[in-house]
Chains A and B, each alone.
Chain A
Amino acid sequence: MPPTPDTAIEVRDLVVDRGKKPVLKGVSTAVAAGTVTGLLGPSGSGKTTFIRAVVGTQKVKSGTVEVLGRPAGSKPLRSRVAYVTQDASIYPDLSVKANVAYFAALYGRGRSEAAAAIERVGMADHADHLAGNLSGGQKTRTSLACALVIEPEVLVLDEPTVGLDPVIREELWDQFRELARQGATLLVSSHVMDEADRCDRLLLLREGRFIADDTPADLRAATGTANLEAAFLHLIRDLERAD
């Protein structure tokens, strides 16, 4: 089935080995444009590996990954897709402002856009601080600003809210929802189940396969549980019983 224009990310039979160890064992999914998709799974299940395949920095063994109808990581995509790595990828010896301005400039965006992005992640008070002297959460937010400034069509975020307090997390999720409403497609990995409820669709990764690919409401209904935490435990127990 060719990807329809409404499919932003199309993954087919993706197999990835990392250091001889199979990490993704043939996963497929389609992410609709203008939605927020949550990527969940235990630590070490392959979330980062999947995300790296989507942005085109991961060597893959077989299968295809297409973003906006083109092979992942291909040149035309590099100005349309933004990636926020799990560990803040910023320059510790540059100020917050200089970091965001640099990434902004790579995409032809100016200082005012950079200032706006810093404002959006609540870092305006620290704009002149060296990134190396920031707290973990502040680094994460700076790294996020470096991606938001691009106003990408596809935004891929690897655990962007780890270590952030509930207020800023809530604000960021409001922004993610707003970006999706304006037409952007977001793929967000997370550990936190209450964030899963703010996604349009959820992918649950376990031992190299998706054990769920559904809306939060359908997942709760299918498992007969009230919250997603319980739904996932239910799914995992079922699988373990089957093994």
Chain B
Amino acid sequence: MSIRITFITAGRILRQLLNDHRTVGLILAVPALIIALISAIMDDAPEVFDKTGLILLAAFPFMLMFMITSITLLRERTGGTLERLMTTPTGKLDLVVGYALAFGAAAAAQTTVAATVAFAFLGLDAAGPAWAVFLICIVTALFGMALGLFVSAFATTEFQAVQFMPVFVVPQLFLCGLIWPADQMAGWLQGVSDALPLTYAVKALAEVQVNPEVTGAMWGDLAVVFAAVLVATVLGAATLRRRTN
């Protein structure tokens, strides 16, 4: 792996993203707007909004990273640039970590805007420190990225890549505790929920929600998400083939 090439790759991916002004606008504005909408819907129940709003802060970058990674990488595969890169000194890990750096930066920008709006203007409340929320959101975003990287290998068109959203992302959102607490689901579903990495991001956020200090439980949950990032990244990198048929 080459640090130099990794940063060159990340710079190229960020430049591609920045050239697409409309996408940049959507990335920055949409989560804040949706969270504002949810806060208005839950106008009479601020304690419910505290929970839901916090989960949404992590859910948006997760969805976003999944989508933009799977589509950008699919374009690299179908546009021939991946094949070309595989004949250059770029290593698979340089490319994957380059993606993580570039889209991680995009996730950080998105989280900053959404969290600022939610905490400063929408009255979102959490007992724990803001940096812990931020950290959980970024790690969750990286999980979305790694998952997108992996599934892009199974799509041959952008249309298919979009169809993977309901398969890989929506069930995790439903089961992570966003729409219903996991401990009130059918027993077998709780088992499924426990197997999904996004659930641990939500648990970690719940810890930050109620504890003024960061807890060991939060670190434990975050470690699970981080492990999922590593596994999905390795699986994703394994789908990048230097030789194809």
- Interface residues, chain A, CB within 8 Å of chain B? 17-19, 52, 55-59, 73, 78-79, 81-83, 85, 87-94, 98, 102-103, 105-107, 130, 146
Evaluate whether A107 and B88 lie within 8 angstroms (CB atoms) in the complex, with A91-B12, A93-B19 already known: yes
CB-based nearest A residue for B81:
A89
B-chain residues with CB within 8 Å of residue A91 when the two chains form the complex: 12, 16, 79, 81
Count of B residues near A, CB < 8 Å?
Answer: 21
Q: A88-B80, A90-B81, A106-B89 are in contact. List 15 more A-B contacts (CB 8 A).
A: A57-B83, A57-B86, A57-B87, A57-B242, A57-B243, A59-B245, A73-B87, A81-B87, A85-B80, A89-B84, A91-B16, A93-B16, A94-B15, A106-B8, A106-B88
Q: Which 7 A-B pairs have the closest CB atoms?
A: A89-B80, A89-B84, A83-B87, A105-B8, A102-B12, A93-B16, A59-B243
User: In whole Å, how far is B92's beta carbon from the nearest beta carbon of chain A?
Assistant: 12
What residues of chain A lie closer than 8 Å to B87, measured between beta carbons?
55-57, 73, 78, 81-83
A18:B19 contact, CB within 8 angstroms: no
Closest to A20 in B: B245
Q: How far is the CA of A57 from the CA of B243 in the complex (A)?
A: 4
Chain A residues with Cβ below 8 Å from B245 are 17-19, 58-59
- Least Cβ distance of B86 to chain A in Å? 6
Known: A73-B242, A94-B16, A102-B8. A83 touches B81 (CB 8 A): no
Q: Using a CB-CB cutoff of 8 Å, which residues 160-192 of chain B contact chain A?
A: none
In angstroms, how far is the closest chain A Cβ from the Cβ of B98? 11
Which residues of B are interface residues toward A (Cβ below 8 A)? 5, 8, 12, 15-16, 19-20, 79-81, 83-84, 86-90, 242-245
B63 to chain A, nearest CB (A): 21
Partner of B244, one of A59, A78, A79, A87: A59
Of B84, B242, B245, most A-chain CB atoms within 10 Å: B84
Task: Among B19, B83, B244, point to the contact of A85 (Cβ < 8 A).
Answer: B83
Q: How far is the CA of A106 from the CA of B244 in the complex (A)?
A: 22
Closest B residue, CB atoms, query A92: B79
| Contact status B90-A106, CB under 8 Å | yes
A-B contact pairs, 25 of them (CB 8 A): A17-B245, A52-B83, A56-B242, A56-B243, A57-B243, A57-B244, A59-B244, A73-B243, A79-B89, A82-B87, A83-B84, A88-B80, A89-B81, A89-B83, A90-B81, A91-B16, A91-B79, A92-B79, A93-B20, A94-B16, A98-B15, A103-B88, A105-B8, A106-B5, A107-B89
Q: Contact between B84 and A85 (Cβ–Cβ < 8 Å)?
A: yes
Q: Are A78 and B83 in contact (CB under 8 A)?
A: no
A73: B residues at CB distance < 8 A: 87, 242-243
Cβ–Cβ < 8 Å partners of A18 in chain B = 245
Contacts of A105 in B (CB 8 A): 8
Taken together as a complex, chains A and B put the C-alpha atoms of A110 and B187 apart, in Å, by 60
Residues of B within 8 A of A89 (CB): 79-81, 83-84
B244–A58 CB distance below 8 A? yes
Which A residues lie within 8 Å of B90 (CB)?
A: 106
Interface centre among B12, B86, B244 (most CB of A within 10 A): B12
